[in-house]
Amino acid sequence: MNQTEKALALAESIGGKNRLNCIAEIDETAAEQAREQEADKQDKLLAGIPVLVKDNIDVKGLHTTAGSLALADNIAREDAPVIRNLRRNGAVILGKTNMTEFANYTTEGMPGGYSSRGGQVIHAVNPKLSPTGSSSGSAVAVAAGIVPMAVGTDTSHSVTACAMFNGICGLKPPAGALSAEGIIPIARTLDSAGAMARDLTDALKLYSAMRDEPLPELKPLKLDGLRIAVNRAQRETLPGRRKRFLNSLLKRLKAGGAVIGEVDQKAAPEMVTIMRWEFRPMLEAYLKKSTAKRKTLAEIVAYYEANPDTMMKYGDTLLRAALDETPGGLRGKPYLDALEARREAVKRVTAEIENDDAVLTTGPTSIMHFCGLPTVTVAGGKKNADGVNEAVILYGKDECRLYEAALAIEQVMLKMGGSGDESKKEKSHFDRFFLAHFSNRSCSGLVF
């Protein structure tokens, strides 16, 4: 069996609706793609590696629905540029993954991993846990070992926090590093495709293969002299077990010679405005080029409200607000003010971390996504009380410098073995805290 045959077998046995429900659609040409890669003797970055793709990214001949039955007729005519690059680098596109509907921009209170088209994605480690989102199916497919790598999208933590909750690695590149063409958007100012894998080396390989030009060679920075800023925003609200894990990690980094500082970089409320004002025009720009019957947000909202049994299980508050509550459109004062606030935040945040190799988050914050900074999730060897690998989210000003710092931090984390022994009460508090904040659209978490 080659890698694709193994992945297809696992997708059928554990990826479907009767198990993890992370697979939306399998590409019938996957086996043929794999044979072509075996016959091709060129040394390609992802030669023959099966990759799954989130269902808001165009893959020629497959559906692109963003999890919504309102777009069930949308068949991609062409690959999105990031998919073309993956094929050029030897990847086998295995199929599409389920996701939170419209990348969690359908309604407030929708569970992570739920969509009208796909149903509920199930966490790979513990079915009682939320898979979060919105790149739920991609994260679960990697965590379950169906594929070594998967593509997600991230407006605010849909790759990075989703990876953390599933105990894998995730990478969101800096704003504009990857083409957004052929991807159903929320807000182009904030959106990016991203990479998900079991370890950071594979996530970097996948990201490099998605780019027009590959990354330069990356090596872990030396711990001695590594400069890490700890973002203390909301740190005081962390439960004890999370504090102990982070303190243990920082102690190990300091023992290796890392220099630890602090910053306080909270979430920016203007992020909500940018998403609301950009969603309609940017969605409709995608739909105009698509094969979808419904070409406007008004038609989509009308479809939801005309079909409450299938489409309104959790409502459509975000879709409706984007339709009705965006005066002036992209020339509206609230939107222009939010963009100005973002420009000022970029100046302030990057100046504060100018001399740091990486910033380590503690409590939830979306400031890195607001500013378009590269962000990675690194998973280690220690498991929490649920059996999920502990992980941290890092961001920085300089892309390659961040990745090399993250590789060094990953080496330390992989040596932190063992499993959590904290009480179920404390574990439940941690889960409630993070899920509440990472799905709160008003401030800190913003998982889209």
Annotated active-site positions, please? 54, 134, 158
| Cβ-based neighbour number of residue 156 at 10 Å | 31
How, if at all, do strands 50-54 and 92-97 pair? parallel
> Residue 85 is encoded by which pair of tokens?
């690059």
How, if at all, do strands 114-115 and 92-97 pair? unpaired
Whether the Cβ atoms of residue 126 and residue 56 lie closer than 8 Å to each other: no
Smallest CA-to-CA distance from 76 within 84, 88, 64, 89 is with: 64
Residue corresponding to tokens 């429900």? 21
Residue corresponding to tokens 């409630």? 432
Whether the Cβ atoms of residue 178 and residue 82 lie closer than 8 Å to each other: yes
| Adjacent-strand bridge partners of 261 | 229
> Residue 391 is encoded by which pair of tokens?
């992980």
d(CA 140, CA 113): 10
Residue corresponding to tokens 């023959």? 48
- Sign of dihedral through CA atoms 196, 62, 8, 44? negative
What type of residue is 344?
Answer: E
Q: Report helix, strand or coil for 132.
A: coil
d(CA 379, CA 360): 13
| Adjacent-strand bridge partners of 152 | 194
Whether the Cβ atoms of residue 193 and residue 55 lie closer than 8 Å to each other: no
Helices (H), 290-373: 297-306, 308-311, 317-324, 333-352, 367-370
| Adjacent-strand bridge partners of 231 | 263, 361
Cα separation values, 227 from 2, 87, 221, Å: 42, 37, 10
d(CA 48, CA 4): 7
Helices (H), 108-263: 136-143, 160-166, 200-210, 240-255
Whether the Cβ atoms of residue 270 and residue 334 lie closer than 8 Å to each other: no
d(CA 126, CA 128): 5
